[in-house]
Amino acid sequence: MKNKRPETLETALLAIELLKRIPRGRKASASELHTQLRDAGIDRDLRTIQRQLQMLSEHFEIERDERSKPYGYRWLEQAKGMALPGLTPQESLLLLLAEEHLRNLLPARLMKSMSGFFAQARRNLGPGGNARLEREWPGKVRVVATSQPLLPPGIPPAVFEIVSDALYGNHWLHLDYRNASSKRSTVEVMPLGLVQQGPRLYLVCRYRGYGNERNLALHRILSARMSTLSFERPRGFDLKQYDDDGRFGFGEGKRIRLTFRIDRNAGLHLLETPLAADQQVAERDDGQLEVTATVVDSAMLEWWLRGFGDAVSHIRRKAVKQAVPISRPTGALRSCLRM
């Protein structure tokens, strides 16, 4: 009997995971549920899943539609179900907001494995439910653009799934890539980070045989294939530091002491949202503000200053000695522009 207990426990846990994922309002096939479980790290063969579903449909309020193949499974409308129907309105709201704002920042495999939870959360907050205040909340909050809104470029779902899976599992990627100059190439890269900048997604990576990082736009990846070969993430790479160095503002990580004058009305917001923690602002006799701050020198900074037109003047830049030498080679601006 002792040898059978682990197997019995595994069978029970598998049944619980299936019960969580069987949907309401629509039918899911054994293959679909099999994929969800596999994406969640539960590896069972399809035949095992089919046997479990047949057993569950005989003991729970689960409909097994045998009119077409593959069979479809769903909870009956009035069924109490298990686990998922127990989501509170607050948990349902949290899941819906997470699905909306994190769909491009989580591995596609993880999002797929959570699809049953997201579907249940939407039903819990549907018109027929009692969670009126939670249902109203998404209409009360919004993230707005800080510049002219743009529609996101199209990214093939298969590309995003393979790239995110390789990033998650630390596997090399083989890419068919077309850069901004329409030059097409086949490359092998080490995926290190996924970054969303406005409506665009970028893969931070290293080409095989190189020690510097590059940013590849996901919408320019024509096809992707994940290698079976894995890698150890470079100890010296830090995605936050990479961003702080201005690598997404077309900079090379060089910090400067920036000083400029700006008309008070145009620069008033800098008193509330400073350029840097060490920012200093002095009000001049002519009504202008003189601003001084340590920032990363970049093309994005130049574009920001030019955006004020004649309201900004007397711009001065003074190089700041780096406290810690930047190990990455220069040329990031040229690399970004080519990508």
* Domain-ending residue, one of 58, 84, 110: 84
- Residue-level pLDDT, tens digit, the chain, 339 residues: 444 445 566 777 788 888 888 887 678 899 989 988 888 888 889 999 998 898 888 888 888 888 778 888 888 866 655 444 467 788 888 888 888 888 888 888 778 777 777 887 888 888 877 788 888 888 888 877 777 787 889 999 899 999 999 999 999 999 999 998 999 999 999 999 999 888 889 999 999 999 899 999 999 999 999 999 999 999 989 998 888 887 777 777 788 999 999 999 999 999 999 999 999 999 999 989 999 999 988 888 998 999 899 999 999 999 987 654 444 433 333 344 345
Listed residue (69, 155, 143) closest to 104, CA to CA: 155
Placement of tokens 């199209």 in the chain: 154
Domain C-terminal end among 237, 261, 284: 237
CATH code for the domain of 255: 3.30.70
Cα 316 to chain centroid, rounded: 37
Q: Check which CATH number belongs to the domain holding 50 and give it.
A: 1.10.10.10
Residues 166, 119 share a domain: no
Say if residue 111 is in the same domain as residue 166: no
46 located within any domain: yes
Question: What's the CATH code of the domain at 164?
Answer: 2.30.30
List the structure tokens of 141. 């909050």
Residues 186 and 228 in one domain: yes
Report yes or no on 144 lying in a domain.
no
| 16 Cβ contact list (under 8 Å, min separation 6) | 82, 83
Pair (75, 92) in one structural domain: no
CB atoms within 10 A of CB 39: 19
Does 43 reside within a domain?
A: yes
- Which pLDDT belongs to residue 337? 39
8 Å CB contact between 231 and 170: yes
Question: Are 295 and 265 part of one and the same domain?
Answer: yes
131 and 165 housed in the same domain: no
Please report which helix (H) or strand (E) contains residue 135, including its range.
helix 132-136
> Residue with structure tokens 């027929």?
128
At 327 the pLDDT is: 40
Verify that 75 and 120 share a domain, yes or no.
no
Say yes or no: 72 and 92 in one domain: no
Strands 221-230 and 289-298: unpaired
Instruction: Assess whether 264 and 298 both reside in one domain.
Output: yes
The total number of structural domains that make up the chain: 4
Spell out the SS3 assignment of 218-279.
Answer: HHHEEEEEEEEEECCCCCCCCHHHHHHCCCCCCEEEEEEEEEEEECHHHHHHHHCCCCCCCC
Q: What angle in degrees, to the nearest 10, is found between the helix axes of 30-39 and 4-21?
A: 110
DSSP assignment letter at 177: E
Structural domain including 30 reads 4-84
Q: Which pLDDT value is given to residue 338?
A: 43
Q: Answer whether residue 225 is part of any domain.
A: yes
Query: What is the value of pTM for the model shown?
Result: 0.63
Task: Report the C-alpha gap between 162 and 143 in whole angstroms.
Answer: 28
- Give dist(CA 326, CA 76) in Å, integer: 60
* 123 plus 173 within the same structural domain: no
